[in-house]
Amino acid sequence: MKAADNQARDNASDDLSRLMQRGSVWRARRQWHRDQPEGDTRRGISTGVEALDKVLGGGWPRGELLELLLDRAGCGEIRLLLPLMHRCERVVWFDPPWQPHAAALAAAGLDLSRLVIVRTRHPRQRLWAMEQALKSGCCDLVLGWFAAVQGQWLRRLQLAVASGGGHGALIRPADFARQGSVAPWRLRLSAPDQSSGDETAPLSKRIEVHAFKRKGAMPARAIDIILADSRLSPPSPRPTSLPCAPSGEHRSRPVLLVSERKGVGRS
């Protein structure tokens, strides 16, 4: 009798662990809490902002599709992604909305020989090309500017980035935030109005990052990132071999200031 009980319990725990392996079970303990990030969170390249690292569970997600939804193109996406670009061997941009200013990017410390820009004539071509780049496994960061993307293509891109193992991000207008998407990470970027900003310096730039979809966690509260200088800033020298910088390091970086907005939690 007792043996049968044990058997049943074993079976049940087997089923549960299988479900958990598939990621079908949400576990409260696994949620990345604002004050105590989990131990296994060091899995990506740090965003350079401690609060954003916590939101993203340790850094830019690798092998998982990221969606950046912009209120307006040009509201700070390049500066946000610049620390990631500095640490990627090969960066490919698909159809950026404007021409990248090569001299400014180079002055910001980006090695131009690592950056490739692909121009396509049609969104379908762009999707195909981006899928190829993600799948190839030789592009560390692939950025694609899109408007509407069919759900089936989002799934294909997600599969491609999972098999390639690099970073892949879709940059889309914020209107598409209301549409469902299979991308495990969805971040909305907005630049608040100039009137409401509490600017600490004339050139500072505040952007709001709201991770309203996260893998394995509840939606995060919107956080404010103040880029202390609206211009592109060269990277501070640091070892590139670390898988992810420990969180304490960012306190010594004066470039980026972080403040938590009070009372705007949107979980």
Partner 1 sequence: MKGLWLCLHCPQLGLEVLSAGDDGPLALLCEDGERIALVSAGAWQAGVRPGMTISAALCLEPGLRLLTPDPEVSRRRLEGLALWCARFSARVSLEPTGENASSWGVVMEIASMLDYFGGLEGLWRRLHEELATLELEVSSATGHTPLAACLLARTGGYCGQGEAEHMARLGRLRLDRLGLSARQQSRLKGLGFTHLNDLLVLPPASLASRLGTDLRRYLQRLTGEVADPPPVFAPPPRFDRERELVHEIELAAGIVFPLRRLLAELEGFLKVRCVKALSLTLTLYHREGAQDLSVGHAGGEQAAEAWLELCRLRLESVVLDAPVLRLRLEVSEVASLQEVATDLFQAAPPRDTPEALFSRLRSRLGDGAVLQPMALEDHRPERASRLVAQPGTARRPPSEIQSANHPAWLLEHPEPLTPATLERLVWVAGPERLASGWWDQAPARRDYHVACWPDGRHGWVFRDAESQWWLHGWFG
In terms of Cβ atoms closer than 10 Å to its own Cβ (0-12, 13-18, 19+), residue 192 is middle
Greatest C-alpha distance within the chain: 77
Q: Which of 132, 228, 236, 247 binds partner 1 (CB under 8 A)?
A: 132
Does 243 help bind partner 1 (rule: CB under 8 A)? Answer: no
Binding span for partner 1 by CB under 8 A among 27-35, 113-121, 212-220, 254-262: 113-121
Which residue lies nearer to partner 1 by CB, 107 or 264? 107
Q: Using CB under 8 A, which residues numbered 158 to 197 contact partner 1?
A: 165, 190-194, 197
N- to C-terminal Cα separation, the chain: 47
At its nearest, how many Å lie between partner 1 and the CB of residue 118? Answer: 6
What distances in angstroms separate CA 217 from CA 24, 27, 85, 106, 187, one per listed residue? 12, 8, 26, 37, 14
Does 49 help bind partner 1 (rule: CB under 8 A)? Answer: no
SS3 of residue 72 by DSSP: coil
Which residue lies nearer to partner 1 by CB, 23 or 234? 234
SS3 of residue 19 by DSSP: helix
Q: Which of 124, 231, 238, 261 binds partner 1 (CB under 8 A)?
A: 231
Residues 6+ apart with CB under 8 A from 43: 57, 58, 59, 61, 62, 243, 244
Q: Which of 31, 34, 105, 236 binds partner 1 (CB under 8 A)?
A: 105
Residues 65-94, one symbol each (x = binds partner 1 by CB under 8 A, - = not), give ------xxxxxxxxx----------x----
Helix (H) or strand (E) holding 143: strand 141-145
Residue length, the chain?
A: 267
Q: Which residues bind partner 1 (CB under 8 A)?
A: 71-79, 90, 96-108, 111-113, 115-121, 125, 128-129, 132-133, 135-139, 165, 190-194, 197, 202-203, 205-207, 230-232, 234
